[in-house]
Amino acid sequence: MKRIVLFLISIVLVLTFAGCGSEEKELTNRAVYENYTLVIGEAVRFTDENGTKMLKVHAVYTNSGKESQYAASSFAVRAFQNDKELEQFYNVGNEDDNITKEVQNGASVNVIYYFALSDSSEVEILVGEPTAEMKSIGRRIYTW
């Protein structure tokens, strides 16, 4: 009888500890931070007027907060190629550059991120919280 009770207690303990694990959420192309959402879309490779190989990443930024906000200050968007962070460029003043424009509450806008490529290998985009830690909350990988 004692063995049966010990066996049942052991099973209960194993099941209890198995349920306590903190499972990491799989990162997708949709990042949410507070009242803001960024959905990373398609990307296009091109060569700029200086001969630099570039990546143009399209995204949709949504402000669901009560106040106006900027996409640039709501998320930390970084690109990596061969485990090295790529340099980001801003196209301020361009008609398709909504990243630095004020977005009213309840509105969505298309935004574009530009990165200088090091070669033609895959690129990983990480979307992080706009904090010093930049905890990753979104991810997309582009391969060609």
Per-residue model confidence as pLDDT tens digits over 29-59: 999 999 999 999 999 999 999 999 999 999 9
pLDDT at residue number 91: 74
pLDDT at residue number 1: 59
pLDDT at residue number 76: 96
On the question of pLDDT at 20 being above 70, the answer is: no
Cβ pair 61, 130 in contact under 8 A = no
Residue showing tokens 């977005």 = 103
Q: Say whether 78 sits in a helix, a strand or coil.
A: strand
Nearest to 58, CA basis, from 5, 114, 134: 114
Q: How far apart are CA 52 and CA 113, in angstroms?
A: 15
Tens digit of each residue's pLDDT (9 = 90 or more) over 55-77: 999 999 999 999 999 889 999 99
Nearest to 85, CA basis, from 122, 127, 124: 124
Tens digit of each residue's pLDDT (9 = 90 or more) over 62-115: 999 999 998 899 999 999 999 999 999 987 566 667 888 889 999 999 999 999
Maximum alpha-carbon separation in the chain: 82
Residue showing tokens 């985009």 = 125
Q: For the chain, how many residues are written?
A: 144
On the question of pLDDT at 5 being above 50, the answer is: no
pLDDT at residue number 15: 53
Q: How far is CA 64 from CA 17, 30, 80, 138, in A?
A: 38, 14, 29, 18
On the question of pLDDT at 8 being above 60, the answer is: no
Average pLDDT for 110-136: 96
Q: How far apart are CA 129 and CA 74, in angstroms?
A: 7
| Residue with more model confidence, 3 or 48 | 48
Q: How far apart are CA 144 and CA 51, in angstroms?
A: 20
Task: Print burial letters for 119-139: b (CB count within 10 Å at least 16), e (below 16).
Answer: eeeebbbbbbbeeeeeeebbb
Nearest to 54, CA basis, from 26, 91, 7, 29: 91
